[in-house]
A and B are shown apart, each in its own frame.
Chain A
Amino acid sequence: MQDKNKISKTQYLIIGSSHAGLAALEAIRLQDENGTITMVTREACLPYSPTILPYVISGEVAAESIHLRDQSYFDRLSVTFKSGSAVTGINLDQKWVSLASGEKINYEKLLLATGADAAIPSFPGIDSIPYQVVRTLEDALKLRQSFQKAKSAIVIGAGLIAMHTAENLAQSGLQATLIIRRQVSLFAYFDGAAARMIESIFSDHGVTLAIGSGVSKISPSDDGGCQVTLESGSVISADLLLLATGVRPRINYLEGSDIQVDRGILVNENMQASVKDVWAAGDVAQAPGFFDAGKTINATLPNASVQGRIAGMDMVKDPALKPYLGSSGLNVFNFFGHHGFSLGLATVTESTDDVEVNTVYLPSSQRYQKLVFKNNRLVGVSAINARLDPGILRELIQRQVDLADVKEGFTSAPLETGRLLMSKLWR
């Protein structure tokens, strides 16, 4: 409790040390060489990316080598880095943030990049067994350890984390069962045909998929494991239970403050929150959508780093700042040696008056490619094992390039045509 009454001061206070926080920090230092910067994280270690955690679980990457920055980096940029310090409260009038240690930090400008926690569904009996989630390094290491003892595992969820975790389990030799409430996996990223192809690859690698039935009950099993009863009535047992049913922005420390929140912290196109001198970026921020009229959360790494950079530039009044184009789906998905990605409105299946869907589906070579156009502009792409440049396609979507004149060439040879458009439009 020695820190109880300590108040330190900083010009720029960044809460969170992953992609959004780091991008903001660098943007600030580019413009302000001398301003005091403090970065605070609840994690007890140097910065890392949540995206790397599945690879820690699988053992492909050692936990010691995941850190994106080391202490000498912070020393070089004269940044005070405080790990193991969760934020507990915020006082907007006096402009300080309190930490779990009791310490307070007075700020001039504050960035909230606190990320998201695993969302825990309220299944009956969920608290009766020691379920696991994959969100922090601690979670990943714990999970990796329990792999050693377990023979089987259940994963509940239909998203990229659920799928990746199931893959890890199967690769580690566990009998993995994936429980998906909807009729199809990865519904947010791929259409039914593509999802079926992915599901069959999972099946081929020994993952059991229980699709189309929600969980009705969870209970401990006699042998110390768990037992999941589905709405269909079937019962699945395993040694481990993993929950990957989405994430929820971490905003509990804002209780009682005037900062407007919906699902996440509401921000404008410069990542400013509803009160002065506070910004938010990354998984915690609910930002203007690229396609949606309202504000939305696409909790992905590329959205986080761009938002963080914009927040940092705005905090330091960088004249080169361009407002956020809007959040949209930007996902890559790799599984059992296959590569997929999904951008924008990638799940549209039907062509309509102004929407055109172009699909190439080659089941024999496990190749899938879907291009979605609206008024001759690319609005979505999903692909598996297709040779494309996702970054160029992203840029075509975000720039809303009119493809009317090149549409035929683009749909038949999107890689070459995309590169050519790039070399003309933004080289």
Chain B
Amino acid sequence: MGKGYNTIAFYPDKCDGCNDCVKTCSYLHTETVEPAHSRIQIVADTIPGSYGIAQCRQCGEPRCVMDCPAKALAKDEDSGVIRWDETRCVNCQLCTLACSYAGITANPITGKVMKCDYCDGDPGCVKACKPGALEWVTAADIFNKWGELEDLFVPGLSACLGCNSELLIRHSLRRIGPNTVVATPPGCIPGVGTVGVNGLTGTKTPVFHPLLTNTASMLAGARRYYNRIGRDVTMLALAGDGGTADVGFQSLSGAAERGEQMIYICVDNEGYMNTGVQRSSTTPFGAWTSTTPVGANLRGKTRDAKYLPVIMLMHNCEYVATASLAFMEDYYAKLDKALQASKKGMAYIHVFSPCPTGWRFPPNQLIEIGRKAVEANLVPLWEYSLEEGRLEFTHPIDNPLPVKEFLSLIGKYRHLNESEIDHIQKTSEQRIEILTSFQHQRANQ
């Protein structure tokens, strides 16, 4: 069956044209610095400061392999790299005609073809790239392992196109495993089919539908019961921001303070999306919702969002983290830690969850928007464990994008003027400052 492979990603907006990747590639393959030997080429645009890339994509259905008459090219099933076997090559160069990307090219110095080999899984160009325009993406491993785990969620469901929640439920349940009781208070997650219909559940684990107010206390009770009969069963809440930060907060706060053993995942789509896009306490400043409309008297939400993850940190939870599914490796690492922490007490993960329907953006932009939010520092990714006693950024952003680049992708922010955008920019910078102070908490103690 299909397999995912590690790959090199190129972010044109970060490339400064320094050509260090080109020089490094040449050096690693020939021990000379000669651009003509490089398997990666950076192409300068007519627009100054804008760059493109020519490099092998290691295609899934490679046309170069298909059109090689000498069987000198083959896709390595383990690494996904298309290998060129010099001993078989007759140098007909049909591959250069087959490739649409200049991924396999004739080297003018050697007269032979050459192509990227990913430096046997440790690409030198990526390491040489100071601005971070090249990234060695290893998320494929997660998806390969994912396929080996049982999907604990129904195959069909009624989520909106491009919904973040389906991705979240399938990944989280697979990773946390079947030895779990799931609680899904009113919101999108039960709404799309998790609790099921007509007496059939949507998960292959026990699942129940608490009230909006009592998710954490019901799970606390269930866990105490299992403890009493000597069974180690994981309690998992999959709750929206309304059920977590608003009306469900009392029971959550109590359970966190008491150190109840559970994983509580807040799927924060910044509003009551299931019932018609009403504002919640996590709806950001300026955002349009059906109860914070944009018109003559109001320009979206007038108050800043409540930043719940820090509030949870102050409850002395065993583990608190923020996450975005655009950074799946990061999320998986946090699920693992949460699972361990939930043996001792409360593990809380706050997942930033863009919503195409309620936020007004095309469904295919879900991951891109998730990524941009992190890169603009609006959604800093961090974790805190009680044991360590300090906060750590898991994906620190050195040169954040202006928040405008994120806001402009989303319909609910379309009306914002410069001063409103400025406000959001400042709020985000202040938040980073606050979080940074928690980085040193233990040192200060």
**Which residues of chain A are within 8 angstroms of B99 by Cβ–Cβ distance?**
389, 391
Are A427 and B94 closer than 8 Å at their CB atoms?
no
Within 8 A of B (CB), among A355-400: 387, 389-392, 394-395
Q: Does A341 contact B93, Cβ atoms closer than 8 Å?
A: yes
Which residues on B sit within 8 Å (CB–CB) of A67?
71
Q: A420 and B93: CB pair below 8 A?
A: no
A259 touches B (CB below 8 Å): no
Binds A, one of B105-113, B310-318, B404-412, B432-440: B105-113
> B52 at the A/B interface (Cβ < 8 Å)?
yes
- The majority secondary structure among interface residues of chain A is helix
CB distance from A72 to the nearest CB of B (A): 14
Contact in complex: A301, B102 (CB < 8 Å)? no
Residues of A within 8 A of B52 (CB): 419-420, 422-424, 427
* Distance of A220 Cα from B52 Cα, bound (Å): 62
Which candidate, A58-66, A95-103, A126-134, A177-185, is the interface stretch facing chain B? A58-66
Shortest CB-to-CB span from B71 to chain A, Å, is 5
- Restricting to B85-121, which residues have a CB under 8 Å from any CB of A? 88, 90-94, 96-102, 105-106, 108, 111
**Stretch in B38-46, B137-145, B159-167, B374-382 with 4+ CB within 8 Å of A:** B38-46
Residues in chain A near residue B71, CB distance under 8 A:
66-68
**Total CB contacts across the A-B interface at under 8 A:** 109
B27 to chain A, nearest CB (A): 21
- Taken together as a complex, chains A and B put the C-alpha atoms of A149 and B63 apart, in Å, by 40
Chain A residues with CB under 8 A of B91: 334
- Greatest chain A CB density within 10 A among B53, B61, B90, B99 is at B90
CB-based contact A389/B90 at 8 Å: no
Chain A's closest residue to B93 (CB) is A332
B66 within 8 A of A: yes
List residues 50-102 of chain B with CB under 8 A from any CB of chain A. Answer: 52-54, 61, 63, 66-67, 69-71, 88, 90-94, 96-102
A109 at the B interface (CB under 8 A)? no
Chain B residue at minimum C-beta to C-beta distance from A343: B97
Select which of B44, B46, B70, B102 is within 8 A of A389 by beta carbon.
Answer: B102
Which secondary structure dominates where chain B touches chain A?
loop
Report the minimum CB–CB distance from A221 to chain B (whole Å). 34
A332 touches B70 (CB 8 A): no
Once the chains bind, are B90 and A390 in contact (CB under 8 Å)? no
- For the complex, give the distance between the alpha carbons of A419 and B103 in Å: 10
Query: A422 and B101 in contact (CB under 8 A), knowing A68-B71, A339-B106, A387-B106?
Result: yes
Q: In the complex the two chains form, is B98's CB within 8 Å of A391's CB?
A: yes
Chain A residues in 8 Å Cβ range of B43: 416, 419-420, 423
Nearest-Cβ distance from residue B91 to partner chain A, whole angstroms:
7
Residues of A within 8 A of B70 (CB): 49, 52, 55, 61, 66
Q: How far is the CA of A423 from the CA of B40 in the complex (A)?
A: 13
Q: Does A23 touch B at the CB level, under 8 Å?
A: yes
Shortest distance in angstroms between A327's beta carbon and chain B's nearest beta carbon?
A: 15
Assembly CA distance A121 to B93 (angstroms): 31
In this complex, how many residues of chain B approach chain A with their Cβ under 8 Å: the count is 33
Residues of A within 8 A of B106 (CB): 339, 387
A423 CA / B69 CA spacing, docked (Å): 28
State whether A305 and B66 are in contact (beta carbons under 8 Å apart), knowing that A67-B71, A391-B100, A426-B100 are contacts in the complex: yes
**Could you say which residues of chain B place their CB within 8 Å of the CB of A389?**
54, 96, 99, 102, 105
CB-CB contacts of B416-431 with A at 8 A, as 1s and 0s? 0000000000000000
Any B CB within 8 A of the CB of A104: no
Question: Inside 8 A of A341's CB, which chain B residues have their CB?
Answer: 93, 97
Give, as a whole number of angstroms, the nearest-CB distance from B82 to chain A. 14
List A residues 1-47 near B (Cβ within 8 Å).
19, 22-23, 26
Contact A423 B93 (CB under 8 A): no
Chain A nearest CB, measured from B50 CB (Å): 9
Chain B residues with CB below 8 A from A339, complex form: 93, 106, 111
Contact of A427 among B53, B67, B92, B97 (CB under 8 A): B53
Q: Within the complex, what minimum Cβ distance (angstroms) separates B124 from chain A?
A: 21
Q: Which residue of A is nearest B103, CB measured?
A: A391
A308: nearest chain-B partner, CB-CB:
B66
The answer, yes or no, to whether A409 is at the interface (CB within 8 Å) is: yes
Quick one: closest A residue to B94, CB to CB?
A332
* Interface CB pairs A-B, < 8 A, 21: A51-B69, A55-B90, A61-B70, A301-B94, A302-B94, A305-B66, A332-B93, A334-B93, A387-B106, A389-B96, A389-B99, A389-B102, A390-B93, A391-B96, A391-B99, A391-B100, A419-B54, A420-B52, A422-B101, A423-B53, A427-B52
Knowing that A339-B111, A420-B44, A420-B45 touch, tell me 20 more A-B residue pairs with CB under 8 angstroms.
Answer: A50-B69, A52-B70, A66-B70, A302-B98, A305-B67, A334-B93, A337-B111, A387-B108, A389-B96, A391-B100, A394-B100, A416-B43, A416-B44, A419-B52, A420-B43, A420-B52, A422-B52, A422-B102, A424-B45, A426-B100
Instruction: Please report A residues at the B interface, Cβ cutoff 8 Å.
Output: 19, 22-23, 26, 49-52, 55, 60-61, 65-68, 301-302, 305, 309, 330, 332, 334, 337, 339, 341, 343, 387, 389-392, 394-395, 406, 409, 416, 418-420, 422-424, 426-427
Rank and list the top 3 A-B pairs by shortest CB-CB distance, nearest first: A423-B52, A49-B69, A51-B69
